Amino acid sequence: MSARTPAERRQRVQALPPLREPDARAIEAFLDAAWAEGGLSRQTLASYRRDLQGLARWRDGAGGGLAGADQAALFDYLGWRAREGYSPRSNARLLSSLRAFFAHALRRGARQDDPTALLEPPRLPRPLPKALPESQVEALLAAPDTADPAGLRDRAMLELMYACGLRVSELVGLPATALNLRQGVLRVSGKGGRERLVPLGEEAQHWLQRYLDEARPKLAGKRALAPLFLTAAGAPPTRQQFWTTVKRCAAAAGIDPARISPHGLRHSFATHLLNHGADLRALQMLLGHASLSTTQIYTLVAREQLKRLHRQHHPRG
């Protein structure tokens, strides 16, 4: 049987029996305790409620309802969800909700066992970073209006992010003292306070010099301001503001804004370096990764692109 569409799954769930009162009370008691003890967010509590109500309605009070569910019942429910086409990520979240609920029941003496103890979480597919083709990166970088001070700043920010593979938080938080155009390097303070020196390419240096000479004095006025990049108010751009800039430039460049994010330029930086023969250890240092295993995911991106090219152009692809 083929997996159901999301709309079909919603219809199937809506057709389940209504929630029984004992199950509803057990769920709300657990959520109250989870909020009081763990200070969980509203979104997490809503996810717990939705997951637990789904299991309770599917069981329809059988064998003592939700509180009486045993390991076999949970296996059956997970099997039903798999046949319905729920994703591994959705089932992993469900298992997290069930574990929290039954651990709470065990602590308060409502149960003598934990039916989730031997349940293995589903294997989640490793998401690959989304990198833009080099031609689209070029179009994106050329999108800002450099005749305007804000546009020249945006061009310099985009060039620097792509040239150095910066995180968004690293880019918007740069002080002016982090940039050394004479030596062609940028000092970046990354996660965990780890500092790294990243070389600048000639194109990035060109646009940064233009920004410093032509745009930043107009944005700063007579104020001596520490941030490298400034808004008209004299403050550094926020992450949200830069996100808006990337989306606007993507639309101007003819790129679907839904396919791009600020972090996509970092992914593109890493993928393009690997495609042109960069060493993985060197890439780790440039990205500021504490572990090489984090960097290795980019080799998967490059491999997938090679496979796609082979399929498209090889006579036996």
The model's pTM: 0.58
6-107 shares its CATH topology with 134-313: no
Beta strands 185-189 and 179-180: pairing type?
antiparallel
Dist CA 199 CA 181 (whole Å)? 10
Query: Which of these ranges, 72-76, 108-112, 126-130, 203-207, has the smallest mean pLDDT?
Result: 126-130
What confidence score (pLDDT) does residue 1 get? 46
Q: What is the pLDDT of residues 120-144, one digit of tens each?
A: 877 766 665 678 889 999 999 999 9
Residue 186 φ/ψ, nearest 5 degrees? -125, 130
Helix (H, G, I), strand (E, B) or coil at 261: coil
Could you tell me which residues come within 8 angstroms of residue 243 by beta carbon, excluding any fewer than 6 positions away? Answer: 168, 261, 262
**1.20.1070, 2.30.130, 1.10.1060, 1.10.150: CATH of 6-107:** 1.10.150
Q: Which residues are catalytic?
A: 167, 191, 263, 266, 289, 298
- The token pair at 186 is 């940028």
Q: Can you tell me the mean pLDDT for 140-157?
A: 96
Q: 134-313, what's its fold?
A: hpI Integrase; Chain A (1.10.443)
Q: Can you tell me the mean pLDDT for 44-48?
A: 91
Dist CA 180 CA 53 (whole Å)? 58
Residue ranges of domains in the chain: 6-107, 134-313
Would you say 56 and 27 are in contact if contact means Cβ atoms under 8 Å apart?
Answer: yes
